[in-house]
């Protein structure tokens, strides 16, 4: 297949059958579908860590002499990681104490050496490849879009959403249209904030104009019915999330500068806890492209405990913990699986700017009550003979193995139908 | 010379451009059908110095490889929106947008310093002989990268470009009229060989003028059999053979119709239409200008089926009302107060300019219709209607005086005036009644007499603009 073949992103090929955001009262009866009971729910939250996370300074091989020599300035030693040591050879970054706590409770599986052969070092292509699970150019629909077409399409209510940013390619699909919601405040039919008293008039006029019984098989009717559904669907989401309360004792981290992941995981919690069908959520945290000043300095002395990478991992760790606790308080922690990924890892050899360049193999995290905790996969060797010509690690685990296990064992769909081939199971799910 | 009505002139301007003020539409009416088309088509004769001055003030693309923030993906999008909103040569922008969708190339794979000069090239060759345009696009670095021809070398051909130049850029898989296949898989393989070695060299001093060359070491000089003819073809020979086929004319007509007129179906009547205009292509030595002139002056173009027979693209939805209402827009300066809000709006509606989803371009018409995009459209409408002059407003804005110019003493005339300015739209009496009720309702929903005051303009006329832009009729083009 050529790399940029048409992908058939039919954003609502038939507006008439486009029911994903239809208000439930309009469709539940018609489609004869019941919201899944909480006990049957299988919630997946994907956390994209954008920019290429430095896996070697996330899951740290602190005794590896090659690691220490390749990173004279950036390496963490045993004396740095006393609080986050996982075993005698690996530790989490010291900023990740919250995730360390979850790990100790058996709720975190860390897959080592994840990647694919001939890894792209381009952010865009690398991201597309992870989003589509197509290592040959990253073309085509998203892996979760293909899942959504197969399983979620045609169901009523909000099934899936991307929160905080643009719609990721992972959700591109033939039939299913997954909304991207940048924030709930604007996810509504907005009217002039200067005249809130006029809002009801505006809504009434809109509804009258867009519910004229126009024939739905015309462009005009499709625009009217879809527009009307959009406004009603957004109102339904607003009504649902208005009932949300953060679980007692849980506070989402703010901080200065503010935690950039926590607000989006909180949005995910708002949807998950108030809309019984909202089971597939996507959030992202960017900024991991730490070519320079990956570590900070404190009064002109290098300090690995501050700086960009440390701050980002701290945000990630604390936001995940708050989200986990919130869902636990709502009785949904055992129904929720979290999974991270990044488009690539970073180069073992640090560069001259206290940073790292684009790499290949990486670690990723699968988290939540459903997982079998521990470290899986295989850490690639840093021996000179084991690195590729650019000095990057050779991946040991195909990332599609991770997807396959999530699809087969958690989402309950045959991964072969989504990924086009079989991939060995890693065992992070029972 | 055929005369045109006000509605027909507005239709012409919405399609050859993005729409315009009542005065601009009046001007087109006085020119008649052919006169109006020729005025818009021969845009090089229109003085555009105001826009040129604005661009010179607002952008600094003098050093595209410097990492100083003055040239990047956001800046080229802002540049294009500034053009579309402020140009007096509307068809230049519209036909460039058509070719951008036709030769769909994206920032997802191609650097901004190649995407930008590709856009300049699409402008430069937009209306010449199709052979020339196809050759220029094929030799341009953006396409050479996008469809992998830079890795298409003798002995290891890459078929990506060879396939798409036929399937999407010229012939189509099957003939639009006869439904017969236009080429075989063997043709794809042989054409790939003909394009081996086509590559370019980055010009670091002037990256907008990187140099195309055919690398003799990588070019396959063997004989190739293409469409039944055996020769030592190179890429230009292939383009020549492709462009002389009537199937290319028919496919271009189909693409032009679905973007500018109405989607052609496979009915016998529509096939006859495709064939009729393909004959213009053939008899005019493949002149794009002659072909589009024939289309825009045709009865098909002014038919009831064509008028409001397409769904507005996000770019049309955003740029159109700004031009129709004469809204104010300040693009900002190269490094400060930059307004990137319009590109962000169309991106949220599914149309990220300079980044179509794939080589087939955007899925038009119903492709734009989904609930997430609908909400984004309505909220853009609210933003335009309620954005007021301020120190540094983000996004275009309207003053009360601008709105007063269209406001009438009766609610009925006011509604009809705004439906006219934003279309003209003819949504029927029930909608006119709904909109009048809106103008005449107080916050409690009680009826009050319509009176034109600063307060009612600031509140109700802005609300009316929002409401009209939420009508399904406004969603049409």
| Nearest residue, CB atoms, A4 vs list B147, B435, B437 | B147
Q: pLDDT per residue over B329-382, tens digit each?
A: 999 999 888 999 999 999 989 899 999 988 889 989 988 988 888 999 999 999
Q: Rounded distance, CA B344 to CA A294, Å?
A: 30
Cβ neighbours of A9 in B, within 8 Å: 357-358, 363
B184 touches chain A (CB under 8 A): no
Closest Cβ–Cβ partner in A10, A179, A189 for B378:
A189
E strand segments, A246-299: 280-285, 296-298
Q: Does the pLDDT at position A250 exceed 90?
A: yes
DSSP calls for A376-421: EE-PPP-SGGGS-TTSPPPPSEEHHHHHHHIIIIII-S-HHHHHSS
Q: Which of B467, B473, B476 is the closest to A206 by Cβ?
A: B467
Contacts of B459 in chain A (CB under 8 A): 192, 194-195, 198
- Minimum-distance CB partner of A179 among B363, B371, B463: B371
Query: Is residue A257 reached through a cis peptide bond, with omega within 30 degrees of 0 on the bond before it?
Result: yes
How far is A266 from chain B, CA to nearest CA, in Å? 21
* pLDDT at B27 > cutoff 60: yes
List of residues 6+ apart from A72 with CB closer than 8 A: A350
Q: Taking 50 as the threshold, does the pLDDT of residue A208 lie above it?
A: yes
Residue of B104, B109, B372 to mutate when probing chain A, most A C-beta within 10 A: B372
> What does the CA dihedral B60, B63, B66, B72 come to, rounded to 10 degrees?
50
Which of A28-42, A192-206, B55-69, B344-358 comes out lowest in average pLDDT?
Answer: A28-42
pLDDT, chain A, mean: 89
Ranges A34-43, A330-339, A345-354, most confident: A330-339
Is pLDDT at A11 greater than 50 in this prediction? no
Closest partner residue to A124 (CB to CB) among B108, B360, B431 is B108
Alpha helices in A275-354 (DSSP H): 308-329
Would you place residue B10 in the very low, low, confident or very high pLDDT band (cuts 50, 70, 90)?
Answer: very high
- A67-111 tens-digit pLDDT: 999 999 999 999 999 999 999 999 999 999 999 999 999 999 999
Whether B347 sits inside 8 A of A9 (CB atoms) is no
Backbone angles phi, psi at A158, to 5 degrees: -75, 115
Contacts of B377 in chain A (CB under 8 A): 227
- List of chain B residues whose C-beta atoms are within 8 Å of the C-beta of residue A191: 382, 386, 463, 466
A-contacting residues in B 309-338 (Cβ below 8 Å): 309-311
Partners of A189 on chain B (C-beta within 8 Å) are: 375, 378-379
What ipTM describes this predicted complex?
Answer: 0.96
pLDDT confidence of residue A144: 98
What is the distance in angstroms between the CA of the first residue and the CA of the last residue of chain B? 26
Residue A19's pLDDT is: 35
Percent of chain A beyond pLDDT 70? 91
Strands of A208-322, DSSP E: 280-285, 296-298, 301-303
Mean pLDDT lowest among A185-189, A360-364, B324-328: A185-189
């Amino acid at each position: 297949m050529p790399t940029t073949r048409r992908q058939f992103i039919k954003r609502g090929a038939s507006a008439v059958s486009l029911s994903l955001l239809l208000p439930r009262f309009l469709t539940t009866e018609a489609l004869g579908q019941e919201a899944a009971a909480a006990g049957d729910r299988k919630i997946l939250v994907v956390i994209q860590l954008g920019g290429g996370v430095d896996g070697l300074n996330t899951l740290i091989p602190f005794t590896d002499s090659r690691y220490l020599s390749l990173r004279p300035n950036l390496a963490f030693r045993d004396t740095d990681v006393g609080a986050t040591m996982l075993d005698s050879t690996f530790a989490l970054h010291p900023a990740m104490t919250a995730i360390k706590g979850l790990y100790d409770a058996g709720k975190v599986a860390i897959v080592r050496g994840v990647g694919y052969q001939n890894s792209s070092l381009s952010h865009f292509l690398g991201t597309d490849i992870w989003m589509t699970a197509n290592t040959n150019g990253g073309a085509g629909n998203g892996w979760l879009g293909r899942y959504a077409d197969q399983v979620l399409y045609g169901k009523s209510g909000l099934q899936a959403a991307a929160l905080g940013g643009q719609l990721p390619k992972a959700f591109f699909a033939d039939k299913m249209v997954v909304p991207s919601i940048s924030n709930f405040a604007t996810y509504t039919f907005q009217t002039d904030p200067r005249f809130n008293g006029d809002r009801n008039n505006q809504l009434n006029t809109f509804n009258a104009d867009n519910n004229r019984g126009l024939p739905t098989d015309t462009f005009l009717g499709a625009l009217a019915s879809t527009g009307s559904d959009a406004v009603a669907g957004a109102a339904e989401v607003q009504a649902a999330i208005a009932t949300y309360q953060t679980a007692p004792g849980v506070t989402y981290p703010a901080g200065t500068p503010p935690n950039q992941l926590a607000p989006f995981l909180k949005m995910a919690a708002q949807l998950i806890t108030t809309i019984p069908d909202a089971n597939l959520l996507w959030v992202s945290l960017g900024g991991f492209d730490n070519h320079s000043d990956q570590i900070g300095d404190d009064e002109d002395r290098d300090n690995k405990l501050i700086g960009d990478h440390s701050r980002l991992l701290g945000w990630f760790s604390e936001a995940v913990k708050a989200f986990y606790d919130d869902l636990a308080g709502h009785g949904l922690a055992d129904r929720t699986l979290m999974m991270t990924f990044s488009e690539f890892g970073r180069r073992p050899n640090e560069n001259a700017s206290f940073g790292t360049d684009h790499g290949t193999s990486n670690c990723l995290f699968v988290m939540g009550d459903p997982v079998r905790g521990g470290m899986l996969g295989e850490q690639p060797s840093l021996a000179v003979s084991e690195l590729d010509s650019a000095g990057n690690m050779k991946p040991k685990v195909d990332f599609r193995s991770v997807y396959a296990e999530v699809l087969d064992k958690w989402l309950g769909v045959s991964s072969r139908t989504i990924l086009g081939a079989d991939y060995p199971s890693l065992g992070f799910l029972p | 010379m055929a005369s045109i009505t006000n509605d027909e002139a507005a239709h012409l301007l919405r399609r050859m451009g993005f729409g315009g003020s009542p005065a601009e539409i009046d001007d087109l009416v006085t020119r008649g059908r052919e006169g109006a088309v020729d005025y818009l088509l021969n845009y090089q004769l229109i003085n555009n110095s105001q826009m040129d001055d604005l661009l010179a003030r607002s952008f600094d693309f003098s050093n595209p490889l410097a990492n100083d923030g003055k040239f990047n993906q956001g800046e080229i999008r802002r540049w294009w929106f500034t053009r579309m909103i402020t140009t007096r040569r509307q068809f230049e922008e519209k036909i460039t947008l058509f070719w951008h969708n036709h030769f769909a190339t994206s920032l997802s794979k191609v650097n901004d310093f190649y995407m930008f000069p590709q856009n300049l090239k699409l402008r430069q060759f937009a209306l010449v002989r199709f052979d020339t345009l196809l050759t220029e696009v094929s030799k341009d670095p953006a396409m050479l990268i996008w469809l992998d021809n830079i890795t298409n070398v003798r002995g290891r051909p890459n078929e990506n470009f060879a396939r798409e130049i036929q399937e999407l850029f010229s012939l189509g898989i099957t003939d639009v009229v006869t439904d017969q296949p236009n080429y075989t898989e063997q043709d794809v393989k042989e054409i790939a060989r003909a394009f081996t070695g086509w590559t370019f060299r980055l010009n670091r001093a002037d990256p907008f003028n990187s140099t195309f060359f055919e690398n003799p070491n990588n070019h396959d000089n063997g004989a190739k059999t293409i469409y039944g003819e055996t020769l030592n073809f190179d890429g230009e020979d292939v383009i020549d053979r492709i462009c002389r086929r009537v199937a290319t004319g028919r496919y271009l007509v189909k693409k032009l119709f679905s973007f500018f007129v109405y989607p052609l179906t496979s009915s016998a009547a529509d096939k006859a239409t495709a064939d009729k205009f393909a004959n213009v292509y053939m008899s005019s030595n493949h002149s794009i200008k002659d072909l589009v002139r024939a289309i825009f002056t045709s009865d098909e173009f002014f038919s009831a089926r064509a008028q409001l027979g397409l769904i507005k693209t996000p770019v049309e939805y955003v740029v159109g009302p700004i031009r129709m209402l004469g809204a104010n827009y300040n693009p900002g300066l190269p490094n400060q107060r930059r307004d990137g809000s319009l590109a962000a709006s169309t991106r949220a509606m599914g149309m990220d300019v300079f980044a179509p989803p794939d080589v087939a371009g955007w899925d038009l018409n119903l492709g734009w219709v989904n609930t997430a995009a609908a909400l984004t459209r309505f909220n853009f409408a609210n933003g335009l209607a309620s954005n007021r002059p301020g120190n540094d407003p983000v996004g275009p804005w309207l003053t009360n005086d601008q709105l007063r110019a269209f406001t009438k003493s009766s609610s009925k005339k006011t509604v009809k005036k705004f439906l006219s300015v934003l279309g003209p739209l003819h949504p029927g009496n029930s909608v006119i009644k709904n909109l009048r009720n809106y103008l005449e309702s107080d916050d409690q929903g009680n009826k009050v007499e319509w009176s034109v005051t600063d307060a009612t303009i600031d509140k109700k006329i802005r609300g009316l603009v929002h409401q009209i832009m939420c009508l399904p009729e406004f969603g049409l083009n």
